[in-house]
Amino acid sequence: MYQATLGQRGYRFGDLRQLMAKASPARSGDYLAEVAAQSAEERMAARIALADLPLKAFLQQPLVPYEQDEVTRLIIDSHDAVAFAPISHLTVGDFRDWLLSEQADSAMLAQVAAGITPEMAAAVSKIMRNQDLILVAKKCRVVTRFRNTIGLPGHLSVRLQPNHPTDSLQGIAASMLDGLLYGSGDAVVGINPASDSLPLLEKLNYMLDDVIQRFAIPTQSCVLTHVTNTLRLMERGTPVDLVFQSIAGTEAANRGFGISLALLAEAQQAALSLKRGTLGDNVMYFETGQGSCLSANAHHGVDQQTCEARAYAVARHFSPLLINTVVGFIGPEYLYDGKQIIRAGLEDHFCGKLLGLPLGCDVCYTNHAEADQDDMDTLLTLLAAAGLTFLIGVPGADDIMLNYQSTSFHDALYIRELLGLKHAPEFAAWLVAMNITDELGRLRDAAANHPLLLALQGERT
């Protein structure tokens, strides 16, 4: 039992799950799950009680039962007590103050990351303002490598997302080369296929590999199909760079995705055995999103943001090259409007970076949400100021296959110019060598005889 008093009124919270849920900022998914605070006063009372909770309580009281959930077992069994030691005496409120202090610099945050559980990260985020989430995330440094270096301070990468509603190879190639000419693609060239046909998936992988090898592009490719399909492709000798999978924060939700920790481990080992990375061996790419556990009725009464943070424990276990939250993609049933999407994006980024992950964000919304591109501009700017690892680049910001609104190649140009952010260094050198940018990273006009344009003409003929 947890309690707090505001004025003449006392509030009681039956268990830690209820306390966490009631302390969460208002969002439609928690109301749908009937776990949200019923008033701003109740929410504040929950935050007061949560601030006084020792961090150690999260190791003693799992929100999802240890015996029922392999994600909980992963969190508890892999907890690093030595990394936790410097902050083990703190309450959630003390932890917030410590994170905002000068003592918690980049080196110290990296030192304690393995000792922070997702529930601790989620708890402290609930009592932080947006500016707190931005400031702390900015101090977190997470660097990963495959064919280039991602996550360096002062850098921002872009996933080039050349989706096509019929998986047309020519259409995908046109979008891909368009993105490259805008300087996008240093995070990954990643296709969401419309089909799960193995022969088609194979063709997509070979096409991406051909372009990357032909032009010696220091980046990586990924066809975002189910992990079992990727395993079959690797068995057939298909050139696979990264293994993709959507993941969630409970075993039951992951079962709904058709995955387990053992299956992810198998896929990681298969990808590592290919030795396709030239600079590093971060071979996994994960996507997450608030609401995935609730939509599968697999949330165990836990609020959606804490469930999201628990997904980061799964990702952390497999040392991914990339992970991003698709923050507004699941819909207004979970994040109703621009205000909720912005807050969720900042929470996700903060929690992921605090746990030691290369967190990116698909700054996005569906067309039936109470949000627009101005909201996305705001979130993109705040996340980039907070040290976002990568964002998504879609032609015109309109994904015509997945039917949602994201960020464009032009948005990447805007945020790089605004904040002076650079491409991954190896990719930046390639852009200069290909006469796509100058030495300062400024975009050049592509001549009609540019090799990439000539390649596109060849694809069309």
Task: Give tens-digit pLDDT for 396-450.
Answer: 999 999 999 999 999 999 999 999 999 999 999 999 999 999 999 999 987 778 8
At 55, the pLDDT band (50, 70, 90 cuts) reads very high
Quote the pLDDT of residue 244. Answer: 98
Quote the pLDDT of residue 202. Answer: 98
In percent, the amount of the chain with pLDDT more than 90 equals 95
Kindly state the average pLDDT of the residues 288-295. 96
Neighbours of 138 (CB within 10 A): 17
How many Å apart are CA 423 and CA 217, to the nearest integer?
Answer: 13
Quote the pLDDT of residue 137. Answer: 98
Average pLDDT, the chain: 96
Quote the pLDDT of residue 179. Answer: 96
Largest interatomic CA distance in the chain:
77
CB 447 within 8 A of CB 176: no
Kindly state the average pLDDT of the residues 321-343. 97
Residue 78 three-state SS: coil
Q: Which two tokens stand for residue 436?
A: 């796509």
Quote the pLDDT of residue 340. Answer: 98
At 460, the pLDDT band (50, 70, 90 cuts) reads low
Q: Which residue has the tokens 């966490």?
A: 20
Quote the pLDDT of residue 446. Answer: 78
What is the DSSP secondary-structure string of 9-34? EEEEESSHHHHHHHHSPP-HHHHHTT
Quote the pLDDT of residue 459. Answer: 60
Task: Give tens-digit pLDDT for 222-266.
Answer: 999 999 999 999 999 999 999 999 999 999 999 999 999 999 999
Kindly state the average pLDDT of the residues 11-25. 97
Nearest to 44 by CA among 75, 16, 13: 13
Specify the pTM.
Answer: 0.96
Residue 284 three-state SS: strand
